[in-house]
Amino acid sequence: MTKKTAVDLLVYGPCSNAGDVLIHQTFNALFKDSLDTQYRHIRADKLGCPTDKVVIGPGGLLSGAYRAETAPDELVIRHLNAKTLDAWQKAGKKIFCFGTGTNTPFDAHKNAKPFSSVSEQNIARMAHLATRLYLRGSRDILRLSSFCASEDTDKFVFQPCPSVFLDRLFGIKPETSDRIAINFPLNTALTKENVANHPLKRFKQYANAQGLKVYFLDNHPMDINPYVLELCDGTTHDEKALKIVATEGFGASSEHNKKFQDVWMGYESLPARFNGYRFAFGARLHSFLPFMAFNTPTVFLSPNEIRRPMGIEYFQHAAFGAAVPWSNAQGQQTVDGMIDRLNYFMAHEDRLRAHIQEQRERLWAITQVNKADMLERLS
């Protein structure tokens, strides 16, 4: 047996976001025969990183602070600062990114995790110290390289998020049923007063008329509340999880986040949760990519200008990008686009599934090249 290389892996890992739990598991599955990953939580860990190799893992980890008004220089990787970079440089650590990205757009308002000049400098320096940065999209590369030295731009390489390979990495055979999965951040937007006339109810009624059931697959406490259940025919949650959702003030406390971390970690197979759907519609990146991993025609409805093009970039077809991205203000227009896209998916389902599989083979070939390149550079 080949000896595994020890690396410090910086990811969210176990948390209240199913997407972050999933990509931690997926990275480890991709490198299970090659890397001995030492988990470092990007917000809690001080990033001492005792091995001599650091990998910043998948996810929008190179983003500005969540709390821009109180921590303008902080990054999502909370302790990736000048002090940490000094220590890494002094120790001569090899630094990589793999499937990493940013959620900070060019025109970043205070709620879009803006970069400060200091955080830009820290990312630029991190890129200078890094050996390679395999990033999840061309917009991520454009955004992050925009304030890096010209000599470092050749280090940026496209690497799709490995969550598009769930079937292959976890040995799950793609299945279908007459169910549609949807995911939107509805915890605070959906209320007792507006649920009866919410635009998504119209989508459910239309789908039901086509013989399809609509299931809500939340990925985060900010996605769901008890009223969401009135907009769908089911969820993947058991009664225990639904009781948590029904708790007063659900979604607004760290206690609820911890409980949902336990929900995700309690799944026998979190990747399998995304299998078995005819179609899907999601505003989160991981209410899009995991469904495509099972060749499920899916529309990506993110309004984020960095993330939004990824559906078309990955799968080379305009049908996987939304005509109108999700927002509470334009819900009716978004649902109009969803219904139009559902009709297109039903008319061309077999061809689209074959196309997704073909594109995933292309993305897998890119991943194999990048994986081999990173492992060679690590050693």
CA dihedral 353, 223, 236, 302 (to 10 degrees): 0
State the pLDDT at residue 99.
98
pLDDT by residue for the chain (379 residues), tens only, comes to 678 999 999 999 999 999 999 999 999 999 999 999 999 999 888 998 899 999 999 999 999 988 878 889 999 999 999 999 999 999 999 999 999 999 999 998 888 889 999 999 999 999 999 999 999 999 999 999 999 999 999 999 999 999 999 999 999 999 999 999 999 999 999 999 999 999 999 999 999 999 999 999 999 999 999 999 999 999 999 888 899 898 877 776 778 788 899 999 999 999 999 999 999 999 999 999 999 999 999 999 999 999 999 999 999 999 999 989 999 889 999 999 999 999 999 999 999 999 999 999 999 999 999 999 999 999 8
Q: Which residues, 6 or more positions from 371, have their beta carbon under 8 angstroms from its beta carbon?
A: 30, 31, 34
DSSP string over 78-125: TT-SHHHHHHHHHHT-EEEEEEE-----SS--TTS-PPPHHHHHHHHH
Report d(CA 244, CA 97) in Å as an integer. 36
Report d(CA 68, CA 113) in Å as an integer. 7
Strand order in the sheet with 234-235: 234-235, 213-216, 179-183, 279-282, 298-300
Helix 331-347 to helix 199-209 angle (10° resolution) is 20
Cβ–Cβ under 8 Å, residues 271 and 166: yes
DSSP bridge pairs for 41 = 11
Report d(CA 141, CA 157) in Å as an integer. 8
State the pLDDT at residue 246.
87
State the pLDDT at residue 358.
98
Q: Domains along the chain?
A: 5-159 (3.40.50), 168-359 (3.40.50)
Radius of gyration of the chain (CA): 20
Report d(CA 181, CA 298) in Å as an integer. 9
Which two tokens mark 307?
């993330």
State the pLDDT at residue 134.
98
Q: Which of 33, 279, 19 is nearest to 162 (CA)?
A: 19
pTM (two decimals) = 0.96
State the pLDDT at residue 1.
62
Q: Which of 135, 175, 165, 220 is nearest to 28 (CA)?
A: 165
The burial class, CB within 10 Å (0-12 / 13-18 / 19+), for 267 is middle
State the pLDDT at residue 48.
87
Cβ–Cβ under 8 Å, residues 179 and 213: yes
Reported as type and span, the H/E element at residue 158 is strand 156-158
State the pLDDT at residue 66.
81
- Give just the sign of the alpha carbon dihedral 347, 349, 351, 356: positive
Helix 117-129 to helix 138-145 angle (10° resolution) is 110
Tokens 């061809």 sit on residue: 351
